[in-house]
Amino acid sequence: MMVDPRHAIPVMPREGALCRDEIDAAAEKAGDRLESDPDDADALFVLAASRAVSGMFAEAARLLNRLVRLRADYPGVWMLKNKVHEALGEPLVAAACRRAAILQSDT
């Protein structure tokens, strides 16, 4: 399900920031890596982040759920899940993800 682009996670251009082509290339490479290793945590995170930036929040959430099942301690996973679930209009899930991020940062 595509979400209205106005609700996409904002990506503020800054020096050294990735452009859309670089994001797409990274997503393609991540997809290729997942074909050979479906449990590649780095590839799951990159693909989920690219889907979130593109406004494909349901797909991003699905990928992040896979990642959490594999590695709940993956750096940044809970904050990205928080942002994705906020964008999906799921404030309770987002709040739980924020709490998990705080707990993760304390360890």
Query: What is the pLDDT confidence band of residue 44, given thresholds at 50, 70 and 90?
Result: very high
End-to-end CA distance of the chain: 35
pLDDT for the residue numbered 38 = 95
- Asked if residue 2 is part of any domain, the answer here is no
CATH number where 64 lies: 1.25.40.10
Report the predicted TM-score, pTM, of the whole model to 2 decimal places.
0.81
1: nearest Cα among 60, 64, 79: 60
Please list the alpha-helical segments (H only) found in the chain. 20-36, 41-53, 57-70, 77-87, 91-105
pLDDT in tens, 59-88: 999 999 999 999 999 999 999 999 999 999
pLDDT value at residue 104: 87
How many domains does one find in the chain?
A: 1
Burial string for 29-40 (b: 16+ CB within 10 Å, else e) reads ebeebbeeeeeb
Average pLDDT, the chain: 86
Is the residue at 4 inside a domain?
Answer: no
Domain range enclosing 33: 19-105
